[in-house]
Structure 1
Amino acid sequence: MKNISILGAGWLGNPLALQLNSNGHQLKVSTTTPEKISFFNENGIESFIVNVGSNPETDNLDNLLTDTDILIITIPPGRTQKVEDNYVDKIKAVVPFIEKHGVKNVIYTSSTTVYLSLEGNVNEETPIVPVSEMDQQIFEIENLLLNNQNFNATILRLGGLIGEDRHPVHFIVRKDIVTEANNPVNMVHRTDIIRFVEKIIENEIPNDVFNIVAPVNLNRRDFYTQEANKLGLSPLPKFTDNPNADMRKVSGEKISKKYGIDYLYLLD
C-alpha cells in the first residue's frame, strides 16, 4: 500500500483515483469543483479544493502532499493560454510544496504534441523541437521535473485521449470534409493509461520518459470509419488525402516492453 496524491482529479485523475483506491492504496486528490468533494468522501478518498496557479492555496496543497509517497500530476494545459495564465508557472508553483513535504516520486501526464513539428516515426529518443507556445511550455515542465534532484519524475506523453465518454469520432461525423485522411493515428484509451500507471506504481518510479500511444496501424480515414461503424454513426464525411503527408507516427512500445503488458484498446 502506498500513499498517493493526485493533483487534478478530472477526466483522467478521477477514474485513476478510484482504481488505485480499489487496489488498496491510500488516496488523496485535488479538485477545482466543490461538488466533487462529497463524491470522493463517499468513496473513501480525501479531497481538497486546489486551484493551481502562482498563488495556490497553501493549506490545501500542504494537506494534499503531507505523507505522500507518489504525486501524480494530471493538470492539462488549457486549450488557449493567455500570458497571465502561464502553464509553466502553475506547475512551478507546486514544486516547492513537493520539496517541502519530501515527496520522492512524481508522475506527470504530458502530451505527444511535443512531437508536433516532426515527421516520420518518432519515439522517446527523438530530439524534440517544440514549435507552439503550449508545446514549449509542456517541454519546459518535463525538463523542470526530470532535472530536479529531490525526486524521481516519470513523464508520460499521452496520445490523443479516448474513453467511453469521449471519442473524437462523434465530432468527425458532424463534419462535411475531413482533410489529411491518410495521416497516421496517435491515440490512447483512458483504460490503457490507467493500466500503465498501475504498473508503474507497483515498481520503482523511474526518472524517465514514456509515450503512451496505442499501436494503431490505420490511417485517419480507416480508423474513423472503423470507429463510426462500431458505434453505428452515419453518415460519414468525405475524406481527402494530403498528397505530401509524412506526419509523425509516435511509438508507445517502450513502456509496453518495460512493464511487460500490452495495449488492449483501439487495436486494429
Structure 2
Amino acid sequence: MRIGVIGCGWLGLPLAERLVHEGHIVFGTTMSYEKIQLLKDKGITPFLVELNEEHVSDVFNDMLKEIDVLVVNIPPGLRKNPKSNFIKKIKLLINYIEKSELTKVLFVSSTSVYGGNQGLVNEDISPIPNTESGRQLVECENMFISNNGFKTAIIRFAGLIGNDRHPINFLSGREGIKGGNDYINLIRLEDCIDLILKILRTDRFPFVLNGVFPSSLTKKEYYTKIAQQRNMELPCFMDDSRKIHRKKIETKYLEYQGVFSICK
C-alpha cells in the first residue's frame, strides 16, 4: 500500500518505520525542517507540512495524490496550549481530503472521549467526555465518521506507554496519590502499531476500535507491581475504603485482543 502518516512523532515515526519494513511505500509529514533528513534515512518520503488552525501547507495536496490511505496521528495538544482549537485543524484537513481522490482515512483518537465516571465502556457505548480535549476529539471523530466522501477507521488509544515513557517514572516515591482504586487503561507502543497494521491489512473501513490492554488491575495494584519489578521506590496511594472503580475500557472485538503484549 501507499500510506501517508500525518505526524511522525512518538507513535507516528515508529509506525512509519514498521510500514516501510513490511514493504509499504510510506509518506510522512513533519513541521520541522531538521527532521526531513531523518525521515529520508528511514525510507520515508518526507513532506514539510505546516498545520495550524488557519492554514495547511498546499504541499499536503501533493502527498494526498500519492497515497491509498492516510493515517491522521496528531494530538489535540491542549495541555500545552489550552486555548488551541483542534477541531479547526481537523476541519482544514478534511477539506483537503474531500477535494482529493483519497477514500480511506485512519484517525488516531483517544479513550479520553469517555468520561471518567462512565464505568465499563466498549465501542457500543456513546462517549460522554468530561474534558475539553475529549470533547474536541468526539467532535472530530463525528466529522470523520459522517463524511460520505471517504471511509474512516477510528482507533481510540488508552494511555500510551513504552520503554522511554511510563507513568511509574513520576509516580515512584510520591505520596498521597488519588485514584488508587481506579482501573488502569493503558496500551504499549508496540501494540498500538500492531493494531493499526491489523486494521490496514484487514481493510476495516469504516470501523471504531478501543485500543487498550485487557486488565482488571487497579492503579494501586499495577503501579506497585511495576515499581517492584523495576526496583523503584513504591508509590503511596491514599486509602479509599469506598472501593470506587471508575472508567474501565474494553473492546468488544475479541479478535483484536490477541495482539497485546504484557503491559509492563
TM over 0.5: yes
1:265 is matched by which residue type in structure 2?
I
TM-score by length of 1: 0.92
Q: Secondary structure at the match of 2:262?
A: coil
SS in 2 for 1:193: helix
Query: Does 1:74 pair with 2:79?
Result: no
AA aligned to 2:234 is L
Letter in 1 for 2:263: L
Q: Please say which of residues 175-184 and 136-145 is displaced more in the overlay.
A: 175-184
1:83-94 alignment, distance < 5 Å: 83=83, 85-94=84-93
Give the match for residue 249 of structure 1: 248
Normalization by structure 2: what TM-score? 0.93
CA distance in 2, matches of 1:210, 1:100: 27
Please say if residues 108 and 155 of structure 2, whose CA atoms lie closer than 8 Å, have aligned partners that are also in contact. yes
Select 1:237's aligned residue among 235, 238, 241.
Answer: 235
In the alignment, which of 250, 254, 261 is matched to residue 264 of structure 1?
261
Tell me how far 1:266 sits from its aligned partner.
0.7
The one-letter code sitting in structure 2 at the alignment partner of 1:262 is V
Q: State the partner residue of 2:206.
A: 207
Match of 1:227 in 2: 226
Counterpart position of 1:126: 125
SS at match of 2:58: helix
Q: Distance in 2 between matches of 1:124 and 1:104?
A: 23
* Aligned-residue RMSD, C-alpha: 1.7
How does 1:1-268 map onto structure 2 within 5 Å?
2-78=1-77, 79-83=79-83, 85-233=84-232, 235-242=233-240, 243=242, 245-254=244-253, 256-257=254-255, 259=256, 261-266=258-263
State the SS of the aligned residue for 1:107.
Answer: strand
Query: What SS class does the counterpart of residue 90 from structure 1 fall into?
Result: helix
The aligned length equals 262
Describe the shift of the 1:223–1:260 C-alpha distance in structure 2 as closer, same or farther (beyond 3 A): closer
Alignment partners' CA distance in 2, 1:89 and 1:154: 20
CA deviation map 1:180-208 (0-9, x unaligned)? 21110000001001011111111223212
Following TM superposition, by how much is the alpha carbon of 1:53 offset from its aligned partner in structure 2, in angstroms? 1.8
Secondary structure, counterpart of 1:54 in structure 2: coil
Amino-acid identity (%)? 32
CA pair 67-193 structure 1, distance change in 2 beyond 3 A: same
Distance 1:90 1:132, change over 3 A: same
**Distance in 2 separating the partners of 1:241 and 1:252:** 30
Q: 47-56 or 22-31, which moves further after superposition?
A: 47-56
Question: Any conservation in 2 of the 1:212–1:252 contact (CA below 8 Å)?
Answer: yes
Task: Report the Cα distance in structure 1 between the residues aligned to 2:234 and 2:202, rounded to whole angstroms.
Answer: 44
Partner Cα distance (1:8, 1:265) in 2: 27
Q: Is the 8 A contact 1:40 1:46 kept in 2?
A: yes
Q: Distance in 2 between matches of 1:247 and 1:66?
A: 45
Spell out, residue by residue over 1:15-48, the C-alpha distance to the aligned partner (whole angstroms, 9 max, x if none). 0000001000000001122221101111221112
Deviations 1:108-146 (A, max 9, x none): 111111112433211111122223222111000000000
Kept in 1, the 8 Å contact 2:54–2:88? The answer is no
Whether the 8 Å CA contact 2:181–2:219 is kept in 1: the answer is: yes
After TM superposition, give the deviation of residue 239 of structure 1 in Å.
1.5
| Partner SS for 1:178 | coil
